[in-house]
Amino acid sequence: MKSPHDIIRRPVLTEKGYQGIEDKKYVFEVDVKANKVEIKNALEEVFKDIKVQSVNTLRVLGKIKRQGRTQGRTPEVKKAYVTLTKDSKPIEFFEGMV
């Protein structure tokens, strides 16, 4: 079994992400192979006082980059849009950012 810190890579701190913090909606970059249940359990284990209501995921393909004749792709990313329940406490990490 994977560690919760292997599943949750980092928070995504963008303008769109900041707009959802007031409604208890957060965005995280997660492991590409993680499913919604694993993401939910990892978040509830890392942040002790939260209850996750729903998890929506989105896979972003890497962009094609060229250097001379050779070409390759940047790494693929998976984002998780997490909504907490109404009675759940907000995540303390995001408190000072709103």
pLDDT in tens, 41-70: 999 999 988 999 999 999 999 999 999 999
| 78 is a domain residue | yes
| 50 is a domain residue | yes
Q: How many domains does the chain have?
A: 1
Contact between 82 and 21 (Cβ < 8 Å): no
| 91 is a domain residue | no
| 92 is a domain residue | no
Question: What's the whole-number average pLDDT of the chain?
Answer: 92
Closest among 31, 25, 32, 27 to 12, alpha carbons compared: 27
| pLDDT given at position 98 | 66
Task: Find the DSSP H helices in the chain.
Answer: 4-7, 15-21, 36-46
Task: Give the angle 25-6-58 at the CA atoms, nearest 5°.
Answer: 45
Task: Name the residue range of residue 70's domain.
Answer: 4-85
Q: What is the pLDDT of residues 19-31, one digit of tens each?
A: 999 899 999 999 9
Q: What is the reported pTM?
A: 0.88
pLDDT higher than threshold 80 for residue 97: no
CATH classification at residue 52: 3.30.70.330
